[in-house]
Structure 1
Amino acid sequence: MTDSVTAPMTPLEAAADPGVLATGVPLDVADHYRDLGAWTGDTHWQLFRRAVDQWPSDCAAIDRTRSVTWAELDTGVSRAAAVLADAGVSRGDGVILQLPNSIAYLETVFAVWRLGAIPVFSLPAHGSGEIRHFAAHGPARFYVSTARPNKHLTRVHRDITAADTDIDLTVILVDETAPWTEAASLPVPDAVEVPPSELAFLQLSGGTTGVPKQIPKTHDDYLYSVRASVEACGLGHGDVLLVALPAAHNFTMSSPGILGAVQVGAAIVFAADPMPTEVLPLIAAHRVTHLALVPPALISLLNFPGRGDYDISSVTTVWVGGAKLSEAAARRVTPELGWRLQQVFGMAEGLVNYTPLDASIEEIVSTQGRPMSPWDEIRVVDDDDVDVPAGTPGNLLTRGPYTIRRYHRAPEVNARSFTPDGFYRTGDIVVVDGRTLTVVGRAKDQINRGGEKIAPEAVENALLMHPGVHDVSVVGVPDEILGEKIRAFVILRDGAGAAPTPTALRKFARESGLASFAVPDIIDIVDEFPLTGVGKVSKKAQQQ
């Protein structure tokens, strides 16, 4: 084990109310979860060190350019920590991570935890608008991204470093093919001990507001969710996990994900994206045993004409979540791929459900599973918070040992997202049979495009910045592959010069700082919006 030092808390870590944790969990409830054995006092840095100590010579991770053992990964983490510390990263600092799937991502996130700093997770598809929000709201002083950006990230880098930007970020760019070369002349900082009850990172949530909400997680509660996921999913030492979805996604990190692989010493193989042309060769080359996909990626795999050219027989389990998987697609998985399907229904805020590995085929294909923890509490209520009879659709509320009771610095959102006694309003309409959940709809006004949650307001605000646009209404419309597509109805402004075309408006949205997955799929130029009886825009009519 490396030497360690202890340093005081910073404002980012501290809860505003001294009677609760950063997650909003009261201190007496936290003690209850410790007494139950759910919270064991573990930290993410300790989790990593155990893996290094137990399996130093085993393969830890593989990407397009490198393959490293756990000992070699540890060396990379030390070098990354040296570079970050030299840039000024220290205990309690917020560090925005916007990196592609790579070993460098692993080195960076564990280096941040080694320094006692706090990762602020961002997806490669996020735009400069989101990065500015994370910097101001976290707050975060540092931004780590790739030195080999694609066109989208080039725009992000340009926007956040512009002379007239309203944020002050220290930018650190990492070349994933040869990272941390500048570390050779730098001292390696000691690991910093942090209490397991403190803020471990800020994760992201979709929603109905214009920017993603930030989800606070402690080491105690998040690592419990990882352990529970490993138990529910059967991931073990010697397995090979393919990471095809964005590494910073909650699904990818913990269900059981990257951290589950670290816990059991499974090898991690990074894919650049979840498309069949990327995933299939990696499965065959590295004898992948487990992978996680969102429904659109799974359907693309099922329908890929060249699938038979690859040996994919090593895969035992595919986890599918992020959006509801249709029963028709679910029934195809085992007969056509030879893989065991495990449906995952969860949220970054907390509750995670899995279909049991030994469940009947009917439960696997037609439900979204059971809560993974015996201490997950669920209620199904009507719009007045009155419990509905068993088997009746209703609003899903939940609380438990890994579910937050408030968002980070969002009191107005918290007032409507959580009940006074700490239940989280998930926004899902479900039917519960015993402990088995079936999702039948969404109560919240958000678009679920292939597992990415998009706030219509954010897309509307981006398009409204165009000088030729008078008004915008954005809705989700059904799509067989993505689940939902983004459709924007646009009223143009009279006398504003040449009228923009739908193509021009999509380009404008893409360049506005909007996340790439939030750019409208369809734009309709209209003269007026349909209205309800009380004069509001009828989004229901627009979805038909």
Structure 2
Amino acid sequence: MLDGCTPWPEDFAKFYRKEGCWQGETFGEMLRERGKTFGNRIAITCQNQHISYQELDRKVDQLAAGFCRLGIGKNDRVIVQLPNKIEFFESIFALFRIGAIPVFALPSHRYNEIHYFSEFCNAKAYIIPDEYMGFDYRVLARKVQQSILNLKHIIVVGDSEEFLELSNLYMDPMVYPKIQSDDIAFLQLSGGSTGISKLIPRMHDDYIYSLRKSVEICRLNSDSVYLAVLPIAHNYPLSSPGVLGTLYAGGKIVLSASPSPDEAFPLIEKERVTITAVVPPLAHIWLDAVSTRSFDLSSLQVLQVGGSKFSSEAARRVKPIFGCKLQQVFGMAEGLVNYTRLDDPEEIIVNTQGKPMSEYDEILIVDEEDNELKHGRVGELLTRGPYTIRGYYKADHHNARAFTDDGFYRTGDLAKMNDSGYLIVEGRAKDQINRGGEKISAEEIENHLFAHPSVLDVAVISIPDKFLGEAICACMISRKRSIEITAIRDFLKERGLATYKIPDRIEFVNDFPKTPVGKINKRALREIITNQLYVENS
């Protein structure tokens, strides 16, 4: 086990192996077997590029050799910040094959996040595109590398300038180290309720089990065509069943650079897409766009909606408008994934966020004293199971709060369970904002705003938003009579904060409501701002 990771207790590990959850397979072996089984069948298509299963396996072998020759080896951490490109798969599977550990960053992350990840996990390399969506990642890489001495290699997909070009690293395959299925395969990012995202260690065993269960429940097979419109480094489009689940099933992945219906709908028609996944704000856009487009979407069998709660009113529109099944997905990168089943009654599909995908998932709904609540009562959701982690990477202090003594993960979600075992999500217990599926720490944004010389005090809260579910509102007490809101946003951008964390609304106030012990009462503040929004919009 990688230093800084919390292992499963041995009795649980033995049980999960005995029950067939963990079958001893690694990602490198999985791709090798799929390459032999599916040969020249297309694995991934991206714009005008296509790659077969056999060719993907071969290129992964070649790139793994290139990484080895750079001195990247087992347990070395590599930041991977690539958009939806074929090179994402070649890179991560090459790292899997040599036992190096990808750290999945998002294309929207900027200096603040990338510098932290690189320093915290002692990254040896950083893989980026040259440019994407108008942003030059080489400029970011230069700035990060100047202060992170261990970050030896910047590897670029495209014009590398002074850095290494990924296309020059494909070499003759060599003998690679033996990788164990209980090795850490990669590090994912948590939503985080305090500060910057925690890192989530995932083993080959536990993550491949989650793929297998997702493929089974979502009924993927070699005829399935999965359209990826969300950033594939996210856990949801990565594994629920996502792109990795599609490879596990032998299906075809179609990569879209944008989630816009103007790009996604033509791909559904052209590639005869059978399943795709969106977040609620995007689902609203797509539902409204169908009537103004003339594309043939009849191949679509399943539209997954997840990342945040989907309103029942919108959920009821999916089948009449798209003519396909809706599948609600509620999960987290730490593990637990819930699905509505494809043959569930409509009332279950539109009114719940599904039930756990594994019979070995353990669920508790508890009150503030950790007393278990009866079905129908709202409380905090706790979970334990064969693909839910036992601790964050190098975070002993935080782990003591985030996990119970007997290994249940405190999700921070408020939920209730019906008598059939389906969950209805009611909100968040943690100080966290779920902005269109992106889980954002209020504290992180507050810390940046406190650095502004004109800000005396600040509280960041969520406010309701028709499309995002929750938007970010920064409430500030200023030292000056007036501050330009654009100046505040520019200040946050200059500090390297990811664009999706920039507050959607900024409110200047004279004081904050307080709790009896003198803390800012965010619940009361949220009510004040929400009522103000209601008046403005009425």
Could you tell me the TM-score, scaled by structure 2's length?
Answer: 0.93
Q: CA deviation at 1:15?
A: 4.4
- Whether the 8 Å contact between 1:202 and 1:214 is mirrored in structure 2 is yes
Matched with 1:439 is 425
Identify unmatched segments of 5+ residues in structure 2: 528-538
Matched with 1:136 is 119
**3-state SS of 2:313 partner:** helix
Matched, 1:206 2:191: yes
Q: Distance in 2 between matches of 1:176 and 1:229?
A: 37
Q: Distance in 2 between matches of 1:176 and 1:210?
A: 34
Q: Distance in 1 between matches of 2:40 and 2:391?
A: 42
Q: Deviations over 1:367-416 (max 9, x none)?
A: 01111111111111111111112221122111011111111111111111
**3-state SS of 1:192 partner:** coil
Q: CA deviation at 1:457?
A: 1.1
Q: CA deviation at 1:428?
A: 1.4
Matched, 1:352 2:337: yes
Matched with 1:469 is 455
**3-state SS of 1:131 partner:** helix
Matches within 5 A, 1:43-442: 43-154=26-137, 156-161=140-145, 163-164=146-147, 168-175=151-158, 180-183=166-169, 186-304=171-289, 307-433=292-418, 434-442=420-428
Q: Deviations over 1:182-203 (max 9, x none)?
A: 136x443333321111111111
**3-state SS of 1:303 partner:** helix
Once the two structures are overlaid, the 10-residue window that deviates more, 197-206 or 145-154, is: 145-154
- Whether the 8 Å contact between 1:280 and 1:307 is mirrored in structure 2 is no
Q: Distance in 2 between matches of 1:191 and 1:278?
A: 40
Task: Flag the 1:398–1:153 CA change in 2: closer, same or farther, 3 A.
Answer: farther
Could you tell me the TM-score, scaled by structure 1's length?
Answer: 0.92
Q: CA deviation at 1:173?
A: 1.0
Task: Flag the 1:486–1:104 CA change in 2: closer, same or farther, 3 A.
Answer: same
Q: Distance in 2 between matches of 1:89 and 1:65?
A: 31
- Whether the 8 Å contact between 1:160 and 1:167 is mirrored in structure 2 is no
Identify unmatched segments of 5+ residues in structure 1: 1-12, 17-21
- Whether the 8 Å contact between 1:301 and 1:307 is mirrored in structure 2 is no
Matched with 2:531 is none
Q: Distance in 2 between matches of 1:357 and 1:260?
A: 17
Q: Distance in 1 between matches of 2:439 and 2:174?
A: 38
**3-state SS of 1:211 partner:** coil
Matched, 1:503 2:489: no
Q: CA deviation at 1:287?
A: 0.9
* Corresponding residue to 2:11 among 28, 35, 58: 28
Runs of 4+ in 1 over 6 A off after TM superposition: 176-179
- Whether the 8 Å contact between 2:156 and 2:166 is mirrored in structure 1 is no
- Whether the 8 Å contact between 2:122 and 2:151 is mirrored in structure 1 is no
Matched with 2:530 is none
**3-state SS of 2:173 partner:** coil
Q: CA deviation at 1:291?
A: 0.4
Once the two structures are overlaid, the 10-residue window that deviates more, 477-486 or 426-435, is: 426-435
Q: Distance in 1 between matches of 2:270 and 2:117?
A: 38
Task: Flag the 1:89–1:370 CA change in 2: closer, same or farther, 3 A.
Answer: same
Q: CA deviation at 1:542?
A: 2.3
Matched pairs, number: 522
- Whether the 8 Å contact between 1:244 and 1:270 is mirrored in structure 2 is yes
**3-state SS of 1:193 partner:** coil
Matched with 2:535 is none
**3-state SS of 2:169 partner:** helix
Once the two structures are overlaid, the 10-residue window that deviates more, 259-268 or 140-149, is: 140-149
* Corresponding residue to 1:14 among 2, 22, 29: 2
Cα RMSD (Å) = 2.0
Q: Distance in 2 between matches of 1:521 and 1:159?
A: 27
Matched, 1:485 2:468: no
